[in-house]
């Protein structure tokens, strides 16, 4: 039985109820986070909460739990749900209104929901064990504020579904200039001549916490060069390696883009080094 958190209470998932007038339900008017927890140990907790607070600020949702309050919820959910390999999901919507008005109503009490779901065991940097990703590509048709981790995810869902319906594991997106943005639920990277290259942070992509940790670990703990800049789709197609990252996957290698092999079609050496470094240092964030 799954125990969830709703507005200050822990209760079985079946008993957690929200109003159909909740603006999260009607408008996708809310912010969420997914934080990995392995046997109760959290990865990137502080940066995840900071990103959530930035998102709430940008939507003008007046709500704040301290880092300690969120940590208490994450720890309690982990304990109540078996303390295994869990994604801790936090969600704050603007709250339930009595009417459906586009304008932000004043004095709503935000709805706070959190639950834990199972994620794969901690990834290991082993090219024989890692899942090899195959991806589709597609023009990024989402809105222009993809830096906000809003619960309004239909654009991402539709992009994911496109890749899935083509038998692939993700969809890498590009803008109208043929520049890679990110995947439907992941950040994206190429490796060329030993250099790791990923799009710079702007409103076209989510500032991923796995990305933040990975780039910092590569810079602090290795001599592998890292560049944040525009990556064209031609560069993607001619890359030696392609990677994706997210909280529940860490860093994963892509071996096929639109049916064409990446590099020699094998999992790359630099991926193996990067995932090993990520595994060694991720709990420091």
Binding site for ligand PDD (CB under 6 A): 34, 156, 182, 185-187, 206, 208-211, 245-248
Residue 95 vs 208, nearer CB to ligand PDD:
208
> Burial letters for 177-209: b for 16+ Cβ neighbours within 10 Å, e otherwise?
eebbbbbbbbbbbbbbeeebbbbeeeebbbbbb
Distance between CA atoms of 230 and 253, rounded to whole angstroms?
Answer: 20
Antiparallel, parallel or unpaired: β 250-257 and 241-246: antiparallel
Distance between CA atoms of 251 and 152, rounded to whole angstroms?
Answer: 25
Distance between CA atoms of 201 and 163, rounded to whole angstroms?
Answer: 24
Residue 108 vs 251, nearer CB to ligand PDD:
251
Annotated catalytic residue within 41, 131, 149, 195: 149
Note if 149 is an active site residue: yes
Six token digits for residue 228: 């944040």
Residue 96 vs 205, nearer CB to ligand PDD:
205
Residues 41, 122: contact at Cβ < 8 Å?
Answer: no
Residues 138, 159: contact at Cβ < 8 Å?
Answer: yes
Least Å distance between CB 261 and ligand PDD?
24
Residue 131 vs 261, nearer CB to ligand PDD:
131
Residue 25 vs 285, nearer CB to ligand PDD:
285
Least Å distance between CB 183 and ligand PDD?
7
Least Å distance between CB 110 and ligand PDD?
20
Distance between CA atoms of 281 and 285, rounded to whole angstroms?
Answer: 8
Least Å distance between CB 230 and ligand PDD?
17
Residue 24 vs 208, nearer CB to ligand PDD:
208
Give the N- to C-terminal CA distance of the chain in Å, as an integer.
Answer: 31
Q: In angstroms, what CA-CA distances link 205 with 66, 90, 144, 202, 236?
A: 26, 20, 9, 6, 17
Residues 209, 33: contact at Cβ < 8 Å?
Answer: no
Q: Residue for token digits 């008005």?
A: 101
Least Å distance between CB 105 and ligand PDD?
27
Least Å distance between CB 118 and ligand PDD?
13
Residue 267, number of CB atoms within 10 A of its CB: 23
Which residues does the annotation mark as catalytic? 149
């Amino acid at each position: 039985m799954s125990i969830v958190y709703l507005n200050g209470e822990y209760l079985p998932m079946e008993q957690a109820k929200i109003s159909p007038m909740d603006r999260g339900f009607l408008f996708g008017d809310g912010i969420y986070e997914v934080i990995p927890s392995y046997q109760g140990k959290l990865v990137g907790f502080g940066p995840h909460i900071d990103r959530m607070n930035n998102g709430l600020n940008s939507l003008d949702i007046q709500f704040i739990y301290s880092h300690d309050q969120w940590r208490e919820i994450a720890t309690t959910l982990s304990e109540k749900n078996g303390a295994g390999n869990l994604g801790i999901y936090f969600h704050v919507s603007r709250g339930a209104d009595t009417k459906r008005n586009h304008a932000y109503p004043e004095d709503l009490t935000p709805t706070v929901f959190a639950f834990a779901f199972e994620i794969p065991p901690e990834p290991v940097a082993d090219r024989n064990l890692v899942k090899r990703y195959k991806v589709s590509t597609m023009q990024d048709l989402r809105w222009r504020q993809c830096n906000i981790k809003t619960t309004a995810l239909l654009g991402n869902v539709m992009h994911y579904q496109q890749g899935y319906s083509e038998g692939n594991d993700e969809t890498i997106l590009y803008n109208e200039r043929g520049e890679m943005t990110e995947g439907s639920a992941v950040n994206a990277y190429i490796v060329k001549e030993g250099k790791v290259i990923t799009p710079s942070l702007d409103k076209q992509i989510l500032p991923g916490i796995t990305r933040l940790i990975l780039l910092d670990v590569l810079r602090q703990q290795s001599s592998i060069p890292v560049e944040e800049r525009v990556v064209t789709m031609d560069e993607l197609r001619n890359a030696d390696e392609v990677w994706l990252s997210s909280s529940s996957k860490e860093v994963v290698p892509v071996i096929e883009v639109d049916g064409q092999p990446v590099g020699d079609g094998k999992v790359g050496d630099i991926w193996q080094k990067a995932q090993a470094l990520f595994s060694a240092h991720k709990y420091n964030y």
